[in-house]
């Protein structure tokens, strides 16, 4: 009964990092019920809201999916009105408004990342309650508590694509190795002016830093 009340949580590790010319957004693939029972090992938490804009989700899966569905509609409508692709900040602001206006009901947080012609690669965090922050990199979810030290020590501005991909992969691997509700495979999306590339790294191919 307790698990039914709590519902399905993404129990997750999510991140987004800018590099020289683009941005990488990534997550694990495990969902849990009540934080104890693993209900799915293969959920994709990276959701494309427009051509070069992605969101990743943490918290209640049902709340996050409902908010993303509403946001995608508003962002598409905005793009049609403006007759141009939406700005990354505009997409993040739509999610911010949804979270703020429904802060008493929603139990979900988001990271929005993407590339646009005005500001290039960008990362935005939309926290519980609707706070919006622009950051060069961000981490979130239950697994993030295990990798703050790694992220602070290893992040550097203007990384190359390869350096950024390794940084994101290592961060996810460390979190998935320690957090019991993070796991599965590592989903990564590389977003640049040229387009979008999906990278999936199976759990047994992730780097190991200790006995697991």
3-state secondary structure of 111: strand
| In the chain, where the domains are located | 16-205
Show the tokens assigned to 140.
């979130």
And the tokens for 144? Answer: 């993030």
Copy the structure tokens of residue 7. Answer: 């519902």
Q: Tell me which CATH code domain 16-205 carries.
A: 3.60.20.10
Q: Are strands 137-140 and 186-192 parallel, antiparallel or unpaired?
A: unpaired
- Name the packing angle between helices 88-101 and 61-82 (round to 10°): 130
Alpha-carbon distance of 210 to 31, in angstroms, equals 24
Q: Is the Cβ–Cβ distance between 166 and 17 less than 8 Å?
A: no
- Give me the chain's average pLDDT, please: 90
Return per-residue pLDDT of the chain as tens, 212 residues: 444 444 556 578 999 999 999 999 999 998 887 666 777 888 889 999 999 999 998 888 889 889 999 999 999 999 999 899 999 999 999 999 999 999 898 888 899 999 999 999 999 999 988 899 999 999 998 899 999 999 999 999 999 999 999 999 999 999 999 888 888 999 999 999 999 999 999 988 999 886 55
Alpha-carbon gap, residue 76 to 91, rounded angstroms: 10
The predicted pLDDT at position 32 comes to 80
Q: What is the pLDDT of residue 58?
A: 87
Residue with token string 């047994």: 204
Residue 114 contacts residue 18 (beta carbons within 8 Å): no
What would the pLDDT profile of 2-47 be if each residue is shown by its tens digit? 444 445 565 789 999 999 999 999 999 988 876 667 778 888 899 9
Q: Which pLDDT does position 3 carry in this prediction?
A: 43
Q: Which residues are catalytic?
A: 12
List the beta bridge partners of residue 31.
40
The pLDDT value recorded for residue 34 is: 65
C-beta atoms surrounding 210 within 10 Å: 7
């Amino acid at each position: 009964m307790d698990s039914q009340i709590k519902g399905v949580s993404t129990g997750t590790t999510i991140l987004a990092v800018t590099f020289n010319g683009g941005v990488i957004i990534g997550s694990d693939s495990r969902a849990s019920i009540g934080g104890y029972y693993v209900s799915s090992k293969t959920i994709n938490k990276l959701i494309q809201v427009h051509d070069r804009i992605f969101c990743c989700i943490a918290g209640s899966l049902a709340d996050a999916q409902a908010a993303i569905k509403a946001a995608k509609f508003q962002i598409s409508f905005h793009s049609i009105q403006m007759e141009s692709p939406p700005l990354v900040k505009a997409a993040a602001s739509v999610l911010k408004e949804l979270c703020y206006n429904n802060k008493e009901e929603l139990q979900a947080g988001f990271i929005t990342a993407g590339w646009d012609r005005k500001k290039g690669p960008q990362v935005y965090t939309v926290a519980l309650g609707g706070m919006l922050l622009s950051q060069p990199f961000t981490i979130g979810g239950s697994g993030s508590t295990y990798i703050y030290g790694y992220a602070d020590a290893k992040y550097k501005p203007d990384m190359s694509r390869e350096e950024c991909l390794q940084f994101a992969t290592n961060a996810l691997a460390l979190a998935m190795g320690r957090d019991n509700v993070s796991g599965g495979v590592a989903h990564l999306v590389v977003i640049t002016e040229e387009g979008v590339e999906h990278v999936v790294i199976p759990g047994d191919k992730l780097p190991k830093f200790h006995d697991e």
